[in-house]
Structure 1
Amino acid sequence: MTTEKPLNVLFLCTHNSARSVIAEAILNRLGAGRFKAYSAGSQPSGRVHPYARELLEKLNYDTSSLRSKSWEEFTGPDAPDLDFVFTVCDNAANEVCPVWPGQPISAHWGLPDPGVAEGNESERRFAFADTHRMLYQRISIFTNLPLASLDKLSLQKRLDEIGRAAVAAPEDA
């Protein structure tokens, strides 16, 4: 896999309102110049969850281009050529995905939906912060993979391992 041009990465989740949007923001920061991240959903909610947007803004991410959108935007002739597609929710992983032009490498990195977290406001906001933490760890590992020296099979194995790995909480790390 060559890394001469930025590699395009699509994060998928059913509603494209929290997990996939958070992942898009993280990768666009961590992978600046090497990766271009996008997010989409099979049944987009039409809005970024307010807690997700507030968290990203608090952490100084650029949120100006974040929006909830359909994965159909990435299947047409004007869509970017995708190098990677990651599902970050179990629903999207079990859905029949479109055929992505160019056959990008895909993996499942499922996480609990912070949008359905219960409890008081503080507990619900913590669910979003915890989602950010887990995605940040996974994406950090991904951006540090030696992509140019891995064959497609080895890379697929590494991406699957990232998705299966338990993500340590700060006190466990």
Structure 2
Amino acid sequence: MDVEVTIRVDGTDRRLTVDTRTTLLDALRERLGNTSPKKGCDHGQCGACTILLDGRRANSCLALAVAHDGAEIVTAAGLAPDGQLHPMQQCFIRHDAFQCGYCTPGQIVSAVAMLREAEAGWPSAVTMDSPDGGADGGPVRLDADEIRERMSGNLCRCAAYANIVPAIEELARR
């Protein structure tokens, strides 16, 4: 069965007709030609398909397009309007935080959302294990352990983590 949906992708409203089983990932890539989110595992385990869905990071391979009619979606491409790179994208380049680049868009989108979550005081397993309990609701200090924990849903087959974490740390310190 086909259903008509409207999604706002990287600032542009897009109306399309999709089968009810179509994931956001497939709608973005196959129907809209947005190849920023990648199809890695197609099971929500690698994070290559990470997008911002209504401001929160999500694995687009696990989200059905029909369930997100009217949603606001931002991909890594949408973080760089008019060719002006997002500060996180600049940090990834400066730190050479990629090798093959396949996971990079998902890593960057996830890192941008993670910084927002930490600023909002959202705890993680590392935060909760800290001496102060991390329960004060204030911004979370992002050290390497905290960043690794918060980015654990994004895998890199090339193991560029040694450069990914410092790239995120640079922006987190600003």
The two structures share one fold, judged by TM-score above 0.5: no
Q: How would you bin the TM-score normalised by the shorter chain?
A: under 0.3
TM-score by length of 2: 0.26
Name which structure has the greater RCO, CA cutoff 8 Å, separation 6+: 1
TM-score (norm 1): 0.26
